[in-house]
Structure 1
Amino acid sequence: MGELQVLLEQHGLTLVFLNVLIEQAGLPVPAYPLLLVAGALGMRETGPSIGAVLGAVVVACLIADSLWYLAGRRLGQPMLRTICKVSLSQDSCIRQTQSLYLRLGPRSLIFSKLLPGAGALSTAMAGMTATPFTVFLFYDAIGAVVWAGGALMIGAAFSDAIDAVLDAFGTYGHLALMLALLALALFIVWRWWKRVRLLRRTRLIPRMSVVELEARRQDGRLPLVLDVRAPGSAALERIPGALAVDPEAPLDVLAEHPPAVEIVIYCACPNELSAAMLAERLRAAGYANTWALLGGIDAWKQLQGERVLAV
């Protein structure tokens, strides 16, 4: 325990900076435990000051988040899908992040780090929506202070218990780590199995290709097209004539349409999952002629781009 405490007291600032930088870059190395310890050690003369630790956290966050911002600005929607690939709920990962940022704008950066998985996604959304870089830096710095400040204050409030905590970690650290890893593994397996079952079920929902949808449009047989992306995202770019709907809300828009109406639903998520889930719900309600759009909005944009090049 003595060696561990000496290491934290002498190199705590560097360790906090590197830990936060790595975590904000996207690696699963949580920085909050170290911030709690840094807050406790900040109450002692031998430890780094809380102000210095907070400054190191802000710098580390701005470095990592600026990279996410630039990646989002350059790569756009594919960047969100890349980030969400590590999520066991990729469709909701994209939808919820878009919804949060499009509703609140850069102000969402103030508390996005407090929400699991939303930090990198929100900074990428800032780049995607062309938020001015200075505005992004301002709100991101505030968010870093809010995120780290809470941990530092909690650590400072319980500074008297730091010796007992470090003692327990030194004695039972390996056992606690093994139990935590086992619990994490079981949780991941459970979530993975739920997702596999959902994917198997929604694969039964028929898909309509964008080529077929455009062919129906040209023949004057355009189905009712529903956009189930996050609220506000449809305003950026959507299929002409599509109606933006919340897949979890009552679909009043269908009240004026008979059950025989043809419906095509699209989203921006992997495996057209959000669209397929709503299609499943509508088919169960009697709307048998319902499809999910294969490839979603990205496939439609790709088709439009190919047509422009052909012209």
Structure 2
Amino acid sequence: MFEILSAPWLHHAIQAYGLWALFVVVALESMGLPLPGETALISAAVYAGTTHGLPIAAVIGIAAAGAIAGDNLGFLIGRRIGLPMLERYGRHVGFDKGRLKLGQYLFLRHGGKIVFLGRFVAFLRAFAAVLAGTNRMPWPHFLVANGLGGLCWSTLFGVGAYLFGQEIHRVAGPVGLVVLASALLLVVLATHLLRRHEAEWTARAMAALPDDAR
């Protein structure tokens, strides 16, 4: 059953290195690398449930730790590298001063929701932390939202995979399609709202975040 629910390299990595493999894959994905962190969590939980080779509490805890550690490194990368690059070169790709301020303003007001919910959406799971750092989200707020998101995510998927085993394989496809369709719909709606109100929101952002605000 475990072989069915995991990619071959994940299967071998978890069998050979156990929780270390889970931590590394989840942490690297959370930093922004295109790795299957959620698949690693599900695979490790199924392995724990079918072989009892790993304790499920440790699987959940290590996955949460990897998510939190990787996200904080991603946040630091965004703050130290992403923000200076956008400030210097952003105007060449459409990110002028107004749009940069707008992104910072949106993360200031809604960053916690973006970071928490982003843990459950594949694309945002890899980039939410970097975006939060780039857009100057206050680190204490990021830490709380990130910690809650990581714990809820690892518990939900870890316990689900542990309890249901092969059944999760049957529902993963339909559920994934629903989540993807919902995420795309939200992106379309958000883009429409942004274009419609960009000038107004940018003016608010420029007023709320003067140049000397850090």
Alignment TM class, shorter chain as reference: 0.5 to 0.7
Q: 1:121 to 1:142 in 2, by over 3 A?
A: same
| Aligned counterpart, 1:26 | 32
Structure 1: stretches of 5+ with no match in the other structure = 83-89, 166-225, 239-300, 302-311
The answer to whether the 8 Å contact 1:35/1:152 transfers is yes
Give 2:107's aligned amino acid. Y
| Aligned counterpart, 2:205 | 236
1:11 aligns with 2:17: yes
Q: CA deviation at 1:13?
A: 0.9
Instruction: Pick from 48, 59, 83 the counterpart of residue 76 of structure 1.
Output: 83
Give 2:41's aligned amino acid. L
| Aligned counterpart, 2:63 | 57
For residues 36 and 26 of structure 2, the distance between their equivalents in structure 1, rounded to whole angstroms, comes to: 8
Instruction: Pick from 112, 122, 125 the counterpart of residue 119 of structure 1.
Output: 125
Give per-residue Cα distances to partners, 1:209-260, cap 9 Å, x unaligned: xxxxxxxxxxxxxxxxx9964984543338xxxxxxxxxxxxxxxxxxxxxx
Q: 1:231 to 1:20 in 2, by over 3 A?
A: farther
Q: CA deviation at 1:103?
A: 4.5
1:143 aligns with 2:143: no
Q: 1:232 to 1:71 in 2, by over 3 A?
A: farther
Choose between structure 1 and 2: higher strand proportion: 1
Q: 1:134 to 1:99 in 2, by over 3 A?
A: closer
Q: SS of 1:71's equivalent?
A: helix
For residues 228 and 160 of structure 1, the distance between their equivalents in structure 2, rounded to whole angstroms, comes to: 46
What is the RMSD computed on CA atoms of the aligned residues? 4.1
The answer to whether the 8 Å contact 1:24/1:64 transfers is yes
The answer to whether the 8 Å contact 1:17/1:57 transfers is yes
| Aligned counterpart, 2:176 | none
Give 1:134's aligned amino acid. P
The answer to whether the 8 Å contact 1:9/1:46 transfers is no
The answer to whether the 8 Å contact 1:16/1:35 transfers is yes
Larger RCO (CA within 8 A; separation ≥ 6) = 2
The answer to whether the 8 Å contact 2:119/2:125 transfers is yes
TM-score (norm 2): 0.57
Q: 1:233 to 1:128 in 2, by over 3 A?
A: farther
Q: CA deviation at 1:124?
A: 3.0
| Aligned counterpart, 1:208 | none
Give aligned pairs, total.
165
Q: 1:132 to 1:98 in 2, by over 3 A?
A: closer
The answer to whether the 8 Å contact 1:73/1:124 transfers is yes
Q: CA deviation at 1:12?
A: 2.5
Q: Percent identity?
A: 24
For residues 45 and 71 of structure 1, the distance between their equivalents in structure 2, rounded to whole angstroms, comes to: 38
Structure 2: stretches of 5+ with no match in the other structure = 90-94, 170-194
